[in-house]
Amino acid sequence: MLLKTIIVVLFIAVVVSLFSGLRFLVKDLGNSKRRLLFALGLRITLAALLLGTVIYGAYTGQISSRAPWDRQLHPEATTPYPIRPRPTMPAPKSAISEQAIPEQPVPNETAPAAQ
């Protein structure tokens, strides 16, 4: 429970740092670049701490997944289904029947051309 509280506090601190940097960017008329860079550095540090805390919690098992696709919670979802062959489909019949198209004679290329 303590780890989850730390994660929530770090996340809120990242969001506050984000909006303070926005305020420095928009409204500060003084030395805004220095304070803006400080807010950016603070946000990066807090985000790294947040990421490290989440990885630590997942590694130690204090944070677990309740996702429906999690293999540990739903082992029946990981068993392979038997592979069934696909049914063969008959070839589609054309809309025009073969009798409707008159058969054209094929010219013979070996015969000499008429002059």
Name the pLDDT band for 9 (thresholds 50, 70, 90).
very high
- pLDDT per position as a tens digit, 18-70: 998 888 888 877 666 788 888 899 999 999 999 999 999 988 888 877 777 66
Domains of the chain: which residue ranges? 2-60
Backbone angles phi, psi at 72, to 5 degrees: -70, -35
Distance CA 44, CA 14 (A): 8
Question: How many helices and strands, by DSSP H and E, does the chain display?
Answer: 2, 0
DSSP class of 99: T
- pLDDT per position as a tens digit, 57-91: 988 888 877 777 666 665 665 556 566 677 777 76
